Structures are given as structure tokens and as C-alpha cells.
Amino acid sequence: MSQSAHDALDTFPKWIAHHAKVRPERPAMRFKDAGIWQEWTWAQMFDIVRAYAVGLTDLGLKRGDKIAIVGTNRPKLYWSIMAAQCLGAVPVPVYADAVADEMAYVLDHAEVVMAAVQDQEQVDKLISVKDRVPSLTQIIYDEPRGLRDYDHTRLHPIHAIIERGIAMQHEGPDVRGRIDRAIEAGKAEDMSIMLYTSGTTGRSKGVMLSAGGSVKACRDTVAFDKLNDNDEVLAYLPLAWVGDHYLNYGQALVAGFCVNCPESPETAVDDRREVGATFFFAPPRVFEGMLTRIMIRMEDASALKRSMFHHFIGVAKQWGEKILNGESVPLGARLHYALGEMLVYGPLKNVMGFSKMRVGYTAGEAIGPELFSFYRSIGINLKQLYGQTEAFLYVTCQPDGQIRADTVGPPAPNVEIKISDEGELLYKSPGMFIGYFKEPEKTAETMTPDGYVRTGDSGFFDKTGHIRIIDRAKDVGKLANGALFAPKYIENKLKFYPNIKEVVAYGQGEDFVTVFINIDMTAVGNWAERNNVAYASYQELANHPDVYKIIAGHVDEVNKSLAGEPMMARSQVTRFLILPKELDADDGELTRTQKVRRSFIAERYKPLIEALYNGAKEADISLEVTFEDGRKGSISGRVRVADVQGYPVFEEKAA
């Protein structure tokens, strides 16, 4: 098909129709059900989506209406998005783990009239807040379990709606024609989807994205990474995150590859291995988690296996990235690496489900350089991209062969980037948002007069034309002595250690840098088991003197590494403490995409921050916590504060 013909496909439903015509028998979607992969071809999927759209029309969904999508990655929820878009309605995916209160805010703000949800849990949440969302009239669900005795006047199973749609197509002659015409009537300027930002700094905002812009952005990156209909992805990221909508939805619909939905979130790794995913996208947190699990398993492995693992990981560290980048490497090293591939890297990649991986991306947050290098060194083509919901993801991405841990690559195709006088990164891109829903003043704040979008991140172009992101612009600060303080940078270095799950660094305007640490229950719990350390809860383990010793060791190593970097040498960590509870999105300490909300945490743990800076050895804290079902409780306890010796700073002499 010619390029211009592709240009006519300016909405996602038109692409579905296109694939149903040109590759009707190719798989479009798979879902593991009853332990077996069930498959739908493009032609089948198009038929289902159209029937679904007929059913939704019958239920009262109209062009321009908003429909909330709540749940994990399941075909029926993806089809809900597709069917809504066919009709010109706007899907609004919502984080499935949001508590009822957060959900009520988003649904009410978005004025949704309908909600397509996964199961009883979500239905219960919606029913509990129905008074606060007056516009919501119909709820449809995928999983019938537990819902049998509910009042079904405004509650319908999705399969029944699809069946109703199929029946109606047989009744009237032109029912299907109406849907086809509705698809044709979709325009590039139409709103395609509304994604709510995770809200690192406050209430989340509804980002409106246009159909034409979204499609254009996807076409650019599909071409960039040469994705085609032979690729396979496993959709496991939250539906409400731009990353999932871009990669598993947008790119799949443009490139025509198959989206695989896992059986449950817990089986994602096994499922990925089974489908042999060729393209993978994850926030750094996922990569951290995988590395932690591998390290724990290696601790439990036999001495022979352990020494083999460490030997070959050493080899990979030395040569792996060079081989991947196509640099010249001595023959002996190549052979040594090949042996490692056979004995260690190959099996390791298989366990993680990366055996067939062509391209992997990480985004969402800066990834620790050590972590990034680890995956690349064992032969996984992991790349970084930098993006935002407002840009429909891609702002920059790394082309093959130009991959470095410290940059996020040059601007993505057709993206213009400039740096403001204050050092803030500004961009203009094809996928750029229309605006924030019902918040024109916020939209105006975010846009520059000449039409660029402010990212809120500070960065600069390096000598090779790549972008380096320093930090959230408003987080980067200075210590009292004038030294640069980039909290993210320090946090990421610490988070590389499997024992450390989360870090929050403080130091803005203070004399020295301090950190809050969350230990990783899996890794430290495993250590405790091997060393006969008894504990009853996270709180108790976190306060154990030996755990403090381990963490102090990690902090010390990080200080050593910071001391070697002229820019950062003076921001070494001087004191730290381990928080008595894990940071949790339910308590508002993290966003739903698991980013720390620094200022909120500072407010909430004020007594601890005071203790970090007033030299106290211990501090008391009492906190209100929210349980999964929304009930409140409180925890209190005494927390130790530890001091760490810094490394001397050698001032660079001016030449």
C-alpha cells in the first residue's frame, strides 16, 4: 500500500479496518484463558469490535461521550477502547488500583457516562461512589464472578453487549453499515483518548490527545524501530498509563502486530516467555525488580553456579556492551563472551522471557546507569526514551548504535526540542496534546507562546546532540554551600542495590544530603532467612541494626562513586534512615505509576526530616495509613538515624 493511502488512515479504528482487509488471518490479539492461549485474528477482532460498537450504541453511547476503562490488560477492555473510538466516543482509562476516592475524582472530572470494568472489585468501587459521579449511567463488566446477585438494571456483562450487537446486525440490514460510516466519519482532529497524568505534583489532569496526532506519533516510531506484523508484545502495563496505550495499543494498531494479554499480573513473566515477546517496554522499576529476583536466586544457588555466574557477569561487564554496539573486540574476548552466552546469559534471558527480544525500552523515570549497563551487557538491546503523557510519549529516543546510559538520545523523529533560558526542556511533536480537559489555564501555563510544550524537566544537549535530563526542574537545587543537589541522581544510584527499593533524598538549602530508604522486603527478607534474623514485620526488619549496617555499606559505596564525579562530589549522603513503612500509592506517597511525591513525603514525615538534620540518633513517628480496602489505621514507632562517613572531595584545579 502506498504512503499516501496510509496517510488517509488518520484514526485508530481506520487502522483496524485496514488490517482486517490486508492481513485478515494474522493474529491481532491473544489472551491466556484456562491455561491456553486463545487467539483472535484481525478479521475476527474487527467483527467483534463492530458488534460491540453496535451494542454500545444500543446502550446509549454517542459520539463525544466519555467512557471509563478500568482494569488490567484484557482483550475485552482493549476492545472497549476500540469500540468506543469507532463510535467517536472518548475512552478514559483509569488506574485499576486507584482507591474509590481517587476514581470518583477522575470519573466526575471526565464526565463519563459509562464505565467498562474488569470485575466485581471495580464494580463495587464504582457503586460506592455513584453519588459523586452523577453522569455515570451504565456499568459494563468482563468478569461475571460474584456479580450474579447484583441489580442488573444498569449493569451489563460485556459479552452480552457483543452478542446483542451481533444479533442486531442480523435484524437490520444497515446496522453494520452505520458503524462503518461512523468509523469513516472519524477525523484526525477528533479527541482519540483522554489519559490522566499520574500527578507527581498534585491532582491529576486529563490530557486530551487527538486521533491524527496519536497515529502520526506511532507511525514515526514504528518506522524508527522497524516494527512489523511479526512482532509480539505482552501487554502488562497499566491501561491508564500512556506507555501502555502507546506501545500495546497505538503501535500494535499501526504496525499490525499481535498484542498478548497475560493470564493475570502474577504470570506476566511466564507468559512473556511463552509468547516470545520481541518488543518490551518497562519503567526502570520493573528492571530493578527483575535484577533483584535474579540476585536472590543466585544467592541460593550452589557454589559452582554462583561462581560461574559472577565470573561471566564480569566478562559481560567488560565486553558485552562493546559487542552489542558493534565495536571492535579482540577474538579471545568474543569467544569468552560466547561461552558466557551459552552458560549464563542465554539461560538468564530465557528466565526473564527475553530470548527473542529485538528492542527493549525503558522510560518513565531515569534509570540507574549500572542497571542499564547490566541488561545491555548480557545482550539485551535495551534503550532509553524520554517522554510524557502530553507528548503521547516519545520526545527523545535512542537509535541503535548510539546508546549511552547517561543520555536519553536525540529528539525522536519529527520532534523539535529547544532548551529555555532557564534550562527547561521544551518540545513540539506530532503527538502533542490538544490541552488539559476543562483546565485551559493549566494548558496555557504549560505551553509557550510559540507553541512549545514545557516539560518541567531540566536538561541540555551534549556534544553529540543527545539530550541529557538532569532532573525535574523544580527538584534540582543547591545545598547551603552552593553545591549542586540532584536528588534523582543520588536516589537512582542507591536503588541499584537489590536491598533498596525506594529512596527519597533531601538537601535543598541544607548543609548536607540525607536520604529516606525503603528496604526491599524480598531481598532483605531472603537475607534475614539465610542469617537467622527473626522479624515479624517490615517495620521490625527495617529497624534491625544489621540491616542498617548493610544499607550503610551501600550508602558508603554510593558516596565513593559520587566523590569521583566533580559535579556531584559535594552532595554525598551524610545521614540516612530507613522508613518504618513502605511508601504506598494508597497513602498518596507515590503516584499510581510509582513515582515518589517528594514534597508530600517531606510534609508527612516531618519529624524524621528534623531528626536527620538536628543530629538526633533516634526519632519517633506516628502515621495514619490506608489499607487496601480504604479503611484507615495508624502505625507508630521509633526510627534510628545513621551517620555515614563521606569521602574527601578533590577540587578540580582550574587549568
Partner 1 sequence: MSAPVELKRGDVMLAVENVSLRFGGVKAITDVSFDIRKGEIRAIIGPNGAGKTSMLNCINGFYHPQEGRITYKGVKREKMRPYVAASQGIARTFQNVALFKGMTTLDNIMVGRTLKMNSPFFWQIWRHGPAMNEEVAHRRFVEEIIDFLEIEHIRKVPVGKLPYGLQKRVELGRALAMEPELLLLDEPMAGMNLEEKEDMCRFIIDVSSQYGTTIALIEHDMGVVMDLSDRVVVLEYGRKIADGTPAEVKANQQVIDAYLGVGH
Binding site for partner 1 (CB under 8 A): 33-36, 145-146, 148-149, 263-264, 266-267, 270, 628
- One-letter amino acid identity for 557? E
Nearer to partner 1, 145 or 170 (CB): 145
- b/e map of 33-52 (b: 16 or more CB within 10 Å)? eeeeeeebbbbbbbbbbbbb
Among the listed residues 527, 529, 642, the one whose alpha carbon sits nearest the alpha carbon of residue 579: 642
- b/e map of 613-640 (b: 16 or more CB within 10 Å)? beebeebebebeebeeeeeeeeeebebb
Nearer to partner 1, 536 or 654 (CB): 536
Least distance CB 149 / partner 1 (angstroms): 7
Least distance CB 144 / partner 1 (angstroms): 9
Nearer to partner 1, 581 or 597 (CB): 581
Task: Give the Cα separation of 74 and 261 in Å (integer).
Answer: 6
Looking at the DSSP assignment, which residues form a beta bridge with residue 442? none
Show the 3-state SS of 141-158. Answer: ECCCCCCCCCCCCCEEEH
Task: Give the Cα separation of 554 and 286 in Å (integer).
Answer: 21
Nearer to partner 1, 36 or 331 (CB): 36
Alpha-carbon torsion (49, 53, 59, 63), positive or negative: positive
Least distance CB 155 / partner 1 (angstroms): 16
What's the chain's length in residues?
A: 655
Nearer to partner 1, 262 or 580 (CB): 262
Least distance CB 393 / partner 1 (angstroms): 30
Residue pair 292/498 in contact by the 8 Å Cβ criterion: yes
Cα angle value 79/429/106 (rounded, 5°): 45
Contacts of 650 (CB under 8 A, 6+ apart): 569
3-state secondary structure of 517: strand
**251: which DSSP letter?**
I
Nearer to partner 1, 36 or 654 (CB): 36
Least distance CB 520 / partner 1 (angstroms): 18
Q: Work out the burial of residue 263: count CB atoms within 10 Å of its CB; fewer than 13 is exposed, 13-18 middle, 19 or more buried.
A: middle
Least distance CB 263 / partner 1 (angstroms): 5
C-alpha cell at 279: 518488543
Cell 442488573: give the residue: 152
Least distance CB 266 / partner 1 (angstroms): 4
Element (H, E) at 191: strand 191-196
Least distance CB 224 / partner 1 (angstroms): 35
Least distance CB 160 / partner 1 (angstroms): 18
- One-letter amino acid identity for 3? Q
Task: Give the Cα separation of 211 and 396 in Å (integer).
Answer: 21
What does R_g of the chain's alpha carbons equal in angstroms? 26
Task: Give the Cα separation of 505 and 512 in Å (integer).
Answer: 11
Whole-angstrom CA distances from 58 to 23, 68, 125 are 30, 18, 25
Least distance CB 156 / partner 1 (angstroms): 19
3-state secondary structure of 306: helix
Least distance CB 270 / partner 1 (angstroms): 8
Nearer to partner 1, 96 or 227 (CB): 96
Nearer to partner 1, 359 or 524 (CB): 524
**585: which DSSP letter?**
G
Residue pair 594/585 in contact by the 8 Å Cβ criterion: yes
Cα angle value 253/399/271 (rounded, 5°): 50
Residue pair 333/340 in contact by the 8 Å Cβ criterion: no
Least distance CB 630 / partner 1 (angstroms): 13
Q: What is the phi/psi pair of residue 459, to 5°?
A: -160, 180
Among the listed residues 165, 114, 119, 113, the one whose alpha carbon sits nearest the alpha carbon of residue 142: 119
Least distance CB 143 / partner 1 (angstroms): 9
Least distance CB 284 / partner 1 (angstroms): 24
Nearer to partner 1, 33 or 511 (CB): 33
Nearer to partner 1, 265 or 440 (CB): 265
Nearer to partner 1, 34 or 303 (CB): 34
Nearer to partner 1, 536 or 655 (CB): 536
Nearer to partner 1, 35 or 401 (CB): 35
Nearer to partner 1, 111 or 121 (CB): 121
Residue pair 397/384 in contact by the 8 Å Cβ criterion: yes
Least distance CB 274 / partner 1 (angstroms): 12
Alpha-carbon torsion (33, 34, 37, 43), positive or negative: negative
C-alpha cell at 336: 569468552
3-state secondary structure of 628: coil
Nearer to partner 1, 117 or 473 (CB): 117
Nearer to partner 1, 108 or 263 (CB): 263
Q: Work out the burial of residue 327: count CB atoms within 10 Å of its CB; fewer than 13 is exposed, 13-18 middle, 19 or more buried.
A: exposed
Nearer to partner 1, 270 or 511 (CB): 270
Least distance CB 537 / partner 1 (angstroms): 11
Least distance CB 628 / partner 1 (angstroms): 8
